[in-house]
């Protein structure tokens, strides 16, 4: 299984240990996990008229695998390339008490194929050079109303994401190059919404401090609807960003950037404008922290028939740890969409409160109550929903 490159790395490690310069701490872990959830949903199809309620049980299982190592070194600049591999594989059972036609069996997808839940990450890096490969596949289900205006019912889908990144630093300056491919595939009846997106990323940065950097970033991508009857909604886009990341001020970490986005569609209906993106965490004390995320830009709309949308995604969160075992989480989310092509407007709000309790180091239990409501200039798009969710997770 090991190739020549890996053998060379192992020989290097043996020589370094023999010289007494460094100590290698190997990592080899296999951790199975198991979770069970019980959810009561007052509007499973997210419809305005005749909302359908149901009690849903979810059972999930899988394992997490970690292979790699790390050096303990006297000087940071002595750190060499050390590979780390992480692999997660899981599946789930979803059982509806009323709507049995929506049940999901282990590894089942909408066409009877084998679709597990996979996460794979490979890191190879040192102080000034870092390489990263990432792959994930995640099956799921969503209300049809989320991809078709006025739709009723649920639709199965799976998301597929592959990403490769390389970063190199020269003292305070450095650059980052990345490629990202994401695909979303729906069951056969809604395959005209299947979409793939390929994006290239080029970033140059300047380290103000070891933990803070300023950067300029360019993204270029292509969006395609792979099973549509026409390529009119396919688009090419470009994004230019400037911002800062890392420890921005005392007790605040994250990323803040502003930019300009331009999308050019095959049907000639182009769009461009300013964009803002924030992902910040303020740690007031070891017990209390706040999170703020916001994204405002023109992006691909969720409705295939509507094309692009001016979108505002907002997230506010607060987390308080009463002690090492018991914590409280408060969240507020807002999603605002302005569909230029048809004039459809929508604004979705979702506040929630949740509690988590840890039983030792291997078992946790979470309980969350969430309210969601959507207001629109079209009545068939508006809805209200309340969700009550209880989940227990065991990591062995």
Output the six-digit token pair for 12. Answer: 């290097």
8 Å CB contact between 58 and 103: no
Output the six-digit token pair for 281. Answer: 């965490």
Quote the pLDDT of residue 106. 61
Cα 257 to chain centroid, rounded: 19
Quote the pLDDT of residue 270. 80
CATH topology classification for 37-395: Porin (2.40.160)
Mean pLDDT by 10 residues, the chain (396 residues): 44 48 62 93 90 92 78 43 76 88 65 66 80 87 74 80 93 94 85 90 94 96 88 90 95 96 84 92 95 87 62 93 95 82 81 94 93 88 93 92
Pairing relationship of beta strands 129-143 and 271-283 according to DSSP bridges: unpaired
Quote the pLDDT of residue 373. 94
Quote the pLDDT of residue 79. 43
Pairing relationship of beta strands 54-72 and 23-41 according to DSSP bridges: antiparallel
Collapsed DSSP state (helix, strand, coil) of residue 294: strand
**Locus of tokens 């001020």:** 249
Residue 287 backbone phi and psi in degrees, to 5: -95, -30
Nearest alpha-carbon partner for 195 in 235, 165, 252, 167: 235
d(CA 3, CA 292): 44
d(CA 131, CA 31): 25
d(CA 304, CA 162): 23
Residue 383 backbone phi and psi in degrees, to 5: -165, 170
d(CA 164, CA 353): 36
List, in order, residues 6 or more apart from 20 with CB less than 8 Å away.
Answer: none
DSSP structural state of residue 188: G
Domains in the chain: boundaries = 37-395
Report the alpha-carbon angle 292-144-107, nearest 5: 85
Report the alpha-carbon angle 135-136-137, nearest 5: 135
Quote the pLDDT of residue 76. 39
- Compute CA distances 167 → 123, 128, 205, 219, 364, whole Å: 12, 8, 10, 16, 37
* Buried b / exposed e along 330-365 (16+ C-beta atoms within 10 A): ebebebbbbbebeebbbbbebebebebeeeeeeebe
For the chain, helix (H) and strand (E) counts, in that order, are 1, 18
DSSP structural state of residue 171: T
8 Å CB contact between 362 and 331: no
**Which DSSP helix (H) or strand (E) runs through 17?**
helix 4-19
Quote the pLDDT of residue 304. 55
d(CA 194, CA 204): 33
d(CA 244, CA 31): 36
Output the six-digit token pair for 244. Answer: 């800062």
Compute, in degrees rounded to 10, the torsion defined by CA atoms 387, 136, 395, 26: -160
Quote the pLDDT of residue 229. 83
d(CA 188, CA 106): 20
Quote the pLDDT of residue 17. 45
Output the six-digit token pair for 215. Answer: 């950067």
Quote the pLDDT of residue 342. 67
Quote the pLDDT of residue 210. 87
């Amino acid at each position: 299984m090991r190739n020549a490159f890996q053998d060379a790395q192992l020989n290097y490690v043996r020589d370094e240990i023999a010289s007494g310069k460094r100590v290698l701490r190997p990592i080899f872990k296999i951790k199975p996990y198991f979770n069970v959830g019980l959810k009561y949903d007052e509007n499973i199809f997210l419809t305005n008229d005749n909302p359908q309620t149901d009690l849903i049980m979810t059972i999930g299982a899988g394992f997490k695998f970690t292979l790699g190592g790390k050096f303990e070194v006297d000087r940071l600049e002595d750190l060499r390339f050390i590979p780390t591999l992480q692999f997660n594989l899981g599946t789930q059972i979803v059982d509806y008490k009323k709507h049995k036609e929506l049940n999901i069996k282990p590894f089942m997808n909408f066409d009877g194929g084998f679709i597990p839940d996979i996460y794979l990450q490979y890191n190879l890096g040192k102080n000034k050079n870092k390489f990263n490969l990432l792959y994930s596949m995640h099956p799921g289900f969503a209300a049809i109303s989320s991809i078709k205006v006025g739709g009723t019912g649920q639709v199965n889908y799976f998301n597929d994401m592959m990403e490769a990144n390389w970063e190199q630093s020269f003292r305070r300056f450095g650059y980052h190059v990345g490629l990202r491919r994401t695909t979303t595939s729906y069951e056969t009846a809604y395959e005209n919404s299947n979409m793939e997106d390929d994006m290239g990323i080029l970033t140059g940065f300047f380290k103000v401090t070891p933990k803070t950097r300023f950067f300029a970033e360019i993204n270029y991508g292509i969006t395609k609807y792979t099973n549509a009857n026409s390529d009119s909604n396919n688009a090419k886009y470009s994004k230019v960003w400037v911002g800062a990341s890392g420890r921005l001020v005392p007790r605040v970490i994250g990323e803040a950037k502003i930019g300009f986005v331009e999308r050019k569609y095959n049907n000639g209906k182009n769009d461009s404008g300013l964009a803002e993106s924030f992902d910040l965490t303020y740690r007031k004390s070891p017990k209390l922290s706040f999170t703020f995320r916001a994204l405002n830009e023109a992006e691909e709309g969720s409705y295939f028939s509507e094309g692009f949308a001016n979108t505002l995604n907002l997230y506010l969160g607060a987390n308080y740890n009463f002690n090492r075992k018991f914590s409280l989480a408060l969240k507020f989310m807002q999603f605002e969409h302005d569909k230029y092509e048809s004039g459809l407007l929508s604004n979705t709000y979702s506040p929630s409160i949740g509690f988590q309790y840890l039983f030792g180091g291997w078992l946790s239990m979470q309980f969350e109550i969430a309210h969601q409501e959507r207001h629109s200039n079209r009545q068939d798009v508006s809805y209200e929903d309340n969700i009550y969710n209880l989940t227990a997770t065991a990591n062995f």
